[in-house]
């Protein structure tokens, strides 16, 4: 039976700082909650990234402000969890569950495909649809 741990993966703080954590091989993380606070008199931002892809942004107003948002993000063994903080007095934590993964999965089962679609044709204007002449 796989072991499940409740974990705090990242505690991030700092002025223009990235804080990272890699999911160990043979494990799988599920990010459950992103919590943070701004104790600064200036506005700030926090970004959550998985393998350099930004998946979440929280902008803090220029005042004392706290938040706690629920997530459901799967991160596989070898993948990177990263948090960016824009201010020294901005603090963010990421927590969730760490599962044993005896299959050492590096992604979901099956193949992901991408297909480039042609650009959409703009809809006709109201005048064109009503066949009206627009005065000049």
Q: Which two tokens stand for residue 136?
A: 């000049």
Q: Do strands 27-38 and 90-100 pair parallel, antiparallel, or not at all (unpaired)?
A: antiparallel
- Domains annotated on the chain, with CATH: 10-103 (2.60.120.340)
Q: How confident is residue 5, by pLDDT bands cut at 50, 70 and 90?
A: confident
Q: How many contiguous H segments (helices) and E segments (strands) does the chain have?
A: 1, 8
The residue-averaged pLDDT of 94-100 equals 96
Residue position matching structure tokens 């993966």: 9
What's residue 26's pLDDT? 92
What's residue 127's pLDDT? 67
Query: How many angstroms separate the CA atoms of 66 and 33, rounded?
Result: 13
> Which of 1, 35, 24 is closest to 98 using CA atoms?
24
What's residue 53's pLDDT? 93
pTM for the predicted model, two decimal places: 0.76
Is 17's pLDDT higher than 60? yes
- The DSSP annotation for 9-63 comes to EEEEESTTEEEEEEPPTTEEEEEEEEEEEE-SSS-EEEEEEETTEEEEEEEEPSS
Q: How confident is residue 8, by pLDDT bands cut at 50, 70 and 90?
A: very high
Chain-wide mean pLDDT for the chain?
Answer: 88
């Amino acid at each position: 039976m796989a072991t499940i741990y409740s974990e705090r993966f990242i505690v991030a703080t700092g002025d223009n700082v990235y804080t990272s954590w890699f999911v160990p091989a043979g494990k799988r993380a599920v990010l459950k909650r992103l919590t943070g606070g701004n104790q600064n008199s200036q506005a700030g931002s926090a970004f959550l990234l998985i393998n350099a892809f930004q998946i979440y942004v929280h902008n803090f107003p220029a005042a004392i402000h706290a938040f706690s948002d629920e997530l459901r993000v799967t991160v596989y063994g070898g993948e990177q969890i990263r948090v960016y903080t824009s201010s020294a007095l901005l603090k963010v934590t990421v927590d969730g569950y760490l599962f044993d993964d005896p299959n050492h999965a590096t992604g979901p089962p099956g193949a992901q495909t991408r297909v480039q679609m042609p650009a959409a044709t703009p809809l006709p204007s109201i005048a064109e649809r009503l066949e009206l002449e627009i005065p000049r």
